[in-house]
Amino acid sequence: MASVLPRTVQGPPVPLRWPPEDNRIPREIFTDPDLFRWEMDAVFTGPVWVLVGHEAEIPQPGDYKTLSVGAVPVIVVRDAQGQVRVLVNACAHRGARLVEGPRGNVLKGGFRCIYHMWTYAPDGSLLGVSLPDDFPAEFRKEDYGLPQARVALYKGLIFASFHEGTPPLETYLAELTEGLDRVLGDGRLRYLGSIKVIFRTNWKLYVENIYDGYHVTALHTGFQVVRLRSHGGQRLVPNYERNGHLWGQSRSTPREQLEPVLRDMTLFDVRTKPTTDHNMMVVFPSGVVTDYFDTLQLRYVLPLAVDQTLIEFTFFARADDPEEVVRHRVRQGPAVLGPAGAITLEDAAALERVQQSSVARGDNVVLKGTPKRFPPYRHVDEAPIRHFYQAYRRLIGVPVEEGSS
């Protein structure tokens, strides 16, 4: 069975002007549908590791979940021997999608295509076909397994790559491993549930918003109402010369010092750690890892169209949490960091406005913190956005215009 996908080799399908100043981002990249289709290959099936899950989401043999790597639909599954695999969610016969639902278990029956009833084992191998009479004599089931991504694990996080040249995962993550160690501990988590929502914005605008510390105090009125502020911190960009990941660190106002405007302010409790330290990370290009208050969260960023992005908010507890703490996490996570939580609605409104106005050609400009050329940056800076877009630009193969940068 194929282990990686065939790759496109030519350059971007549209001429693209990229300013020489690294703090200017051309708005065309948010609106051009041809470029969007190109970057699904050049970025998401390029030499990157894409976050697709955590082992706690598929704890038993046969457990699976579905999502996409860029435009490629995939199944993240634990096979009968316990190995984690990432399979292309398309029958090797005529391409019908094998699985439509979000998750389940196929240990007994396997994945069965509704079109011609071809059946695959959880490891992606073809188990059987219907009515095999009159197949060509050279037909062999061994030749029709499902294509698979390369898979690597770190502290239970599941990463997939469809590129043969992707470096080893820990090399790719670089110093971000320190942040992941801090958040994930020994990696033993308990899956609590997921919420999905479609943002009416380009996937890159959603991701860059996480790199941006400048908007937090300006946009998020929910935090302003309760007088919740950040008290120090920094924004690191591990491996910025290659991949431009993000590790944002901050510390917020303790709950007892907040303005008691809610009937129950325990929503902002921090019960599982000694301080109100927060960590928010992006594994380039699209994986988000968050430890905020007592919320442990992964976000999967799934591009649907040039102006639509599906975000899956996935919540966890630690495997050894007492039930009281689990209930606290279940309540706090969606209410603070879910799609209808205290801050996400405001992000969605702002990002939709940016998307709508991107048809007005020109450049978006990053300013706050840019006098400093390299990380670490202050937690209120937007300068890390530059590194995200330079990593993106290199992957899509666009040179900068001549001029001073």
Q: According to the model, what pLDDT value does residue 3 have? A: 60
Q: According to the model, what pLDDT value does residue 111 have? A: 97
Q: According to the model, what pLDDT value does residue 221 have? A: 74
Q: According to the model, what pLDDT value does residue 374 have? A: 85
Q: In which residue ranges of the chain is pLDDT below 50?
A: 405
Q: According to the model, what pLDDT value does residue 225 have? A: 66
pTM of the model: 0.95
* Domains of the chain with CATH codes: 49-152 (2.102.10.10), 175-396 (3.90.380.10)
Q: Three-state SS string across the chain, please? A: CCCCCCCCCCCCCCCCCCCCCCCEEEHHHHCCHHHHHHHHHHCCCCCCCEEEEEHHHCCCCCEEEEEEECCEEEEEEECCCCCEEEEECCCCCCCCCCCCCCEEECCCCCEECCCCCCEECCCCCEEECCCCCCCCCCCCHHHCCCCECEEEEECCEEEEECCCCCCCHHHHHCCHHHHHHHHHCCCCEEEEEEEEEEECCCHHHHHHHHHCCCHHHHHCHHHHHCCCCEEEEEEECCCCCCCCCEEEEEEECCHHHCCCCCCCHHHHCCCCCCCCEEEEEEECCCEEEEEECCEEEEEEEEEEECCEEEEEEEEEEECCCCHHHHHHHHHHHHHHHCCCCCCHHHHHHHHHHHHHHCCCCCEEECCCCCCCCCCCEECCCCCCHHHHHHHHHHHHCCCCCCCCC
Q: According to the model, what pLDDT value does residue 218 have? A: 81
pLDDT in tens, 340-387: 887 788 899 999 999 999 999 899 999 999 999 888 999 889 999 999
Q: According to the model, what pLDDT value does residue 83 have? A: 98
Q: According to the model, what pLDDT value does residue 344 have? A: 85
pLDDT in tens, 127-140: 999 999 999 999 99
